[in-house]
């Protein structure tokens, strides 16, 4: 005789103590007190018959590798996730875009770059585990605050593919005085290749003509990062005594 399966108990948001529900916590303690999953849960509003909304939010953040990955997710792919659909996908995308625009409109809140480690801290979570090479350019103002981070290439980043004009295009349009080039190595090893060095030399040469300084070329991998300026790779003609620190300890994430 088969014993009937005991129904699984599903904890809903309403079953949670009032002081543990995301909306009430936001009301009582402010948005900064909430986790990413709780904030996303508020944007989603409801869960499914099998998952409460916090579980759905946590699953999405885990699957896409955090907020940065979720912001890059294809809209249709997101719609097809269990518990999402078109309406919730729109809510997610809208909330993340509002956050992005807020940062752009508040210069005092922009990230300031004072070292290669700052670049790594800013982009490691987003770029260290990518399965393809991506090349991004950090546009900086006169105080080295990040004003934009356009992605230019996805795929092979080498001297035969990267066009110098495209790297400087946005910097010219926005009259940025300086930029930093960043790309990742899917292998995990951030050691620069001969193509990386060749690209850097081309960019440094062009920067002198355009009067837009290339402050660095950072290579990111799962094993850490390398500052090509610190190692004097591609920056030979512009090295200063402070920069001549090949194999610097900061070339690896601490």
Maximum C-alpha span of the chain: 85
**Taken in order 54, 60, 66, 68, is the CA torsion positive or negative?**
negative
Tens digit of each residue's pLDDT (9 = 90 or more) over 95-152 = 988 877 776 665 556 788 999 999 998 888 778 888 889 999 999 999 999 988 888 8
- The conformation of residue 2, written as its DSSP 8-state character, comes to P
Q: What does the block give as tokens for 151?
A: 């992605």
pLDDT at residue 105, as a whole number: 64
Question: What is the average pLDDT across 193-217?
Answer: 95
Identify the burial level of 89 via C-beta atoms within 10 angstroms of its C-beta, where 0-12 means exposed, 13-18 middle and 19 or more buried. Answer: buried
Domains of the chain: 13-105 (1.10.150), 109-251 (3.40.140.10)
| SS3 category, 153 | strand
Q: Per-residue pLDDT for 11 more than 80?
A: no
| pLDDT given at position 22 | 87
* Contacts with 50 (C-beta within 8 Å, 6 or more apart), sequence order: 10
Say which residue, 252 or 106, is predicted with more confidence. 106
Task: Kindly indicate the confidence band of residue 238, based on its pLDDT and cuts at 50, 70 and 90.
Answer: low
Average pLDDT over residues 183-204: 94
What pLDDT score does 15 carry? 74
Q: What is the enclosing helix (H) or strand (E) of 221?
A: strand 213-221
Global pTM reads: 0.56
Q: Which of 12-26, 158-172, 186-200, 230-244 has the lowest mean pLDDT?
A: 230-244
Q: What are the structure tokens assigned to 13, written together?
A: 């948001």
- Give pLDDT tens digits for 57-95: 888 988 887 787 888 888 999 999 999 999 999 999 999
Per-residue pLDDT, averaged over 30-38, amounts to 83
């Amino acid at each position: 005789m088969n014993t009937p399966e005991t129904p699984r108990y599903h904890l809903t948001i309403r079953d949670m103590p009032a002081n543990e529900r995301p909306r009430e916590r936001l009301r009582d303690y402010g948005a900064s007190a909430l986790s990413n999953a709780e904030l996303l849960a508020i944007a989603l509003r409801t869960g499914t018959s099998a998952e409460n909304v916090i579980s759905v939010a946590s699953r999405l953040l885990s699957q896409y590798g955090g907020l940065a990955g979720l912001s890059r997710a294809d809209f249709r792919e997101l719609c097809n996730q269990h518990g999402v659909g078109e309406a919730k996908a729109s809510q997610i995308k809208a909330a993340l875009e509002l956050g992005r625009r807020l940062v752009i409109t508040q210069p005092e809140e922009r990230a300031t770059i004072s070292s290669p480690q700052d670049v790594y801290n800013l982009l490691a979570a987003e770029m260290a585990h990518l399965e393809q090479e991506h090349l991004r350019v950090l546009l900086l103002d006169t105080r080295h605050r990040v004003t934009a981070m356009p992605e230019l290439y996805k795929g092979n980043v080498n001297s035969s593919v990267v066009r110098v004009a495209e790297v400087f295009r946005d910097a010219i349009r926005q009259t940025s005085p300086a930029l930093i080039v960043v790309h990742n190595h899917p292998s995990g090893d951030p050691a620069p290749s001969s193509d990386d060095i060749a690209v850097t030399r081309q960019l440094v040469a062009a920067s002198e003509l355009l009067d837009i300084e290339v402050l660095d070329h950072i290579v990111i991998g799962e094993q850490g990062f390398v500052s090509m300026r610190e190692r004097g790779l591609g920056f030979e003609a512009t090295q200063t005594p402070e920069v001549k620190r090949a194999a610097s300890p900061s070339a690896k994430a601490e």
